[in-house]
Structures are given as C-alpha cells and as structure tokens.
Structure 1
Amino acid sequence: MTTSNNTASDIKCLKLAESLFQAYQTQTSITLEASDLTLDQAYQVQQLTVKKLDTKPKFWKTGLLSNQRSFCAPIANHLCQQSPANFSGKRFNALHVEAELAFRVNQDFLALPDQASSVTEESVLNSLDQMCVAIEVLDSRLLDWQTAAENLHLADNQMNGALILGTEVPFDAHNPLNFSQQGFVLSINDNEIVLDTGTHPQGDPVSLIFDFIKEANLRGYDILKGSWVTTGTWSGYPSANAGDKVNVSFQDIGEAELTL
C-alpha cells in the first residue's frame, strides 16, 4: 500500500513539474489541479522542474511561509542578469517588481547526510562576503496565481520571474548595517513609487539565511560557493508593465536597473 501511494504521489509530482517546465518554455500561464499539494510534494515538484531548467542553480530566494517557516526556491540561471538588465524579450504573465538585498555565500553547503550537524549559524554568517542591491521580478506560471494555494506557489519557485543584481559591496555579518535605518527608493519610469526606511519584514534580512541553508540542504539542494540569495521585499510588490524602466536604489549601498 505504501509503495502504491508513493508511486501515485511521484507520478503526480512528475506531471506537475512537466506542466510547469512547459509553462517556462512557452512563457504562458497554466491551471494546475493540485490544491491539496503537501509541502514535501511542493518541494519535489520544484526540484523536478529546476532539474529541467538548470542542473546546478546559483541563485536563490528565501523568506517566510505563512507558518513562519523559511522557504528555499531556486532561480534559474538564465533568469538572472547583472544590472543594467534587459528582459524586454521575455513575456511575464503576472508582472510585479520588488526592491531587495541579496547576499553571496562564499563556501559550499552541501546536502550530505550529516549536514544538519555541520551547518552552524556561525559558519553561515562567516560565509557571507558580499551584499548587493537586487530587483526581483515577480511572475507566475499559474493562471489563478491570485487565489492559488501557498504550496502551489512554492512548487512554482515562489513566483520568481527574474532577478537583477546591482551594485555589490563587501559584507561582514559581524559588523552589519543598521537595517532598521536603511533607506531605499523604487522608481518606475523615473517616478518614485516607494520611498521608505527600514521596511524589511524581518527587520534584518540576514536573519533568514541560516534557516534558508538548512531548509535547502534538507530538501536535497546544494548551496554552492558563489551562490546569491535574495532575501525578500522592502517595497511590497508594485505592478509594472512591459517596456517600463525600473530603478532601485539603497542609500549608501548602490542601485540596480531593469528594462522590462
């Protein structure tokens, strides 16, 4: 009975992953009949999909699910560009943009059987050597993305459409910025859309990264040396349109630019 159930679950996940991969390839949105998808199944679908897109992703996003558990979601390498970025040739189905900060991991954290005991908060903090301004483009392969279940979004790489990496600066987690006083501006077509200070949901974006790496390793992902992880929006997620020019600037850090 257990084998049969597992096989049925595996077949379900394979079919969902194939549908999502085709949606990536055709840049279209689809309907997935899987509102009962479990967390484990969502990660299985995510992994199966990313294996078709990239064998070893080097870009990631993290944040908290509604139950306050950290999530991990890979970003396909071809969906990441350095600023000034141009994605005018790509079709987005649900187009929003976010002002974020991303951090570079300068050592491998591999999904080994004993990894849970070897990954420490100190080792993760010591591994962070660069920070950069980032723009995340939110998109979805799901036609009903506004009402879709949370685990479906997780299976769909937590609504990532693209990632733009801007100005890089050295980072020392033991001598960090005062993120509560960090100012930023998000502009679209030279119009200030969001101007604010200290609005990251967790206060300190770095606080997410230890649990992100643990979750990624638990799910079988290797976080490779040189990987970047973007850590959630400071700006909400204002909508944008094809042809828009987006600029995000973080005070005393730098900026990132994007043409949609």
Structure 2
Amino acid sequence: MTHPQELAARLVQARRTHTLIDPGSLGAEKPTNADDAYLVQQLVLAELGGCAGYKIGAGSPTAVPSCSPLPATKVFGAATGIRQSDYARIGLELEIAFSFAEDVDHTLSEQADEVIDAIDTMSVVVEIVDSRFESWPEVDPLLQLADLQNNGAFVIGETRPYDRNFDFSMPHVSFYCGDHSIFQGKAQHPAGDPRRLIAWLVARTLETGHSIPARTILSTGSYTPFYVATGPGVVRGSIEGFGKIEFEIK
C-alpha cells in the first residue's frame, strides 16, 4: 500500500457527505495487509475527533480477532437515539460491551484470566453497521477493516457491574426493530466467550506500548443476525438476566 492517506481521506469524505466509494476506483490506495488497514484506521480516527472505544470481533472461538477504534462523535446514549439521515444504511446488531475502572497499562498483567477479572462494568449495546463502500457487503475484508470494520455508530443501553458468572456464551436474547422480531431465543456468540476478545485487545495494546483509558467502551461482536432498518422506528433489545436497550431511529 503506497497511499494510506488518500484512502483515509476518501473514507472521511464518504462519512461526511454520505456518498459511497466504488472499490473498483481504488488502485494503490488499497491495503495489502492488516497492518496497512490498521494504519488507515488511525488516520481516519485522527480526522474524526478521537476514540471512545473499540469494537472487537472473531468469526469463531479459535479465529484470530480483529479490532477497530470507535469515533467518540459516534457513540450515543440510548436517550439520544440516531438520525437516519446520518447514514447510508442502518444495520443493527445487539452486543455486550465491557469497560475497566482504571487505565489499562503495563501495570495490568497480560494473562487473560487476570485481565478478565479486572473488568468493571458491562453494557447492552447496539452497533449501527454502515459501510463507505457501495458494493458492501461484497467488499475486500482489508478494505472493511480499514473502514473501521463497517462501524457507523454505537448506542449504549443499560450498564451494570461486571458479573463473571453470567452466561456470556449463550444468553437468551430478544431483539426488535419496530414490530419486526429480529431474533428471540438462545444466542450463541460467534467467538465463544466474548471476554476472550477483551483479553486479546489488552495484550495487543500493551505489546505496542499503548494503554486503554478507563471507561473505554470495548464491544465484542453481535449475538444476533444482521438486520437493516428501512425507516424510522424504535429499536428494542433485551439480554435476559443482564439488561435492556431501547432507542429511536429518527
């Protein structure tokens, strides 16, 4: 990849103007490996005004995770809701996010069990999935990674103290958009126990000499099928024994 700044600039412009990029129009801007894509992420984030958290995902319990920063300007409380006009599309996914009470730095062990024990809170969240590419989801995975892993926004619902005994691998979930039932029933997380993604992110961050500020939002991937909202309405989600979220698409 020879022009990361050019791809970052196009992604930022697409976000601001709600216009979509034809992947076929890209040449040397295309990332050739994950390091390239992560570099573009940081260039995009610098233009969008800073980081409020990370989304982390893995396609199976043994798959290597990937991550993306969350722009601070695109993280909302449920009472705020979101505006349909701010997005090219509004995909909905119900997730769990975690946070730490203190900064995560070299004073925290990189051992997965100790990292998980240090978690302080957990929240019900909905990711707004949006892409800056017109052919999405048929887009090169590295371009999706560069595009903040298709993140449009995050909406934060109920938050509670971390409960290490909660069944994170297969909770009972209900998820609605208006009158449409997106999912109801036992929901199996694609990564197995999503907390392993938190341990991976902490280890990756510490290896690079960086830290994770206290109360950074760390979301861990969807429990529910992907659903695209087609108009205004109320989104409602519930994770049994955990909490709820409800917000409006205006």
TM-score, normalized by length of structure 1? Answer: 0.85
* Distance in 1 of aligned mates of 2:240 and 2:9: 42
User: CA shift at 1:89, angstroms?
Assistant: 5.4
Q: CA deviation at 1:72?
A: 1.5
> Quick one: which amino acid aligns to residue 102 of structure 1?
A
Is 1:38 matched up with 2:33?
yes
Offset, 1:249 = 0.9
Distance 1:39 1:177 in 2: 33
More strand per residue: 2
Tell me the number of residue pairs that the alignment of Structure 1 and Structure 2 aligns: 244
Note the residue ranges of structure 2 that are not aligned, 5 or more in a row.
Answer: none
After superposition, the C-alpha distances for 1:28-78 in whole angstroms (9 at most, x for unaligned) are 2112415553111000000111011123x1221001268921112111111
What amino acid is aligned across from residue 179 of structure 2 in structure 1? D
- Identify the residue that residue 166 of structure 1 maps to in structure 2: 157
Distance in 1 (CA, whole Å) between partners of 2:235 and 2:116 is 31
**Consecutive aligned runs of 4 or more in structure 1 exceeding 6 Å deviation:** none
Pairwise CA RMSD: 2.3
Separation in 1 of the partners of 2:68 and 2:42? 9
Counterpart-to-counterpart distance in 1, 2:199 and 2:169: 20
Query: What residue is the counterpart of 1:74 in the other structure?
Result: 69
Partners of 2:112 and 2:191 in 1: CA distance: 17
Using the size of structure 2 for normalisation, the TM-score is 0.88
Q: Partners of 2:201 and 2:59 in 1: how far apart?
A: 12
Question: Comparing both structures, which one devotes a greater share of its residues to helix?
Answer: 1
Counterpart amino acid of 1:235? T
The 5 Å alignment of 1:13-52 reads 13-32=4-23, 33=26, 34=29, 37-52=32-47
Confirm whether residue 249 of structure 1 aligns to residue 233 of structure 2: no
Please say if 1:156 is aligned against 2:147: yes
Q: Following the alignment from structure 2 to structure 1, what is the Cα–Cα distance between the partners of residues 30 and 193?
A: 33
Aligned equivalent of 2:54, options 50, 56, 60: 60
Q: Deviations over 1:145-171 (max 9, x none)?
A: 221111110100101111111011111
Report the CA distance between 1:200 and its aligned residue: 1.1
Which range moves more in the overlay, 136-145 or 220-229?
220-229
Question: What is the percent sequence identity of the aligned residues?
Answer: 27
Higher alpha-carbon deviation: 248-257 or 131-140: 248-257
Structure 1 residue aligned with 2:112: 121
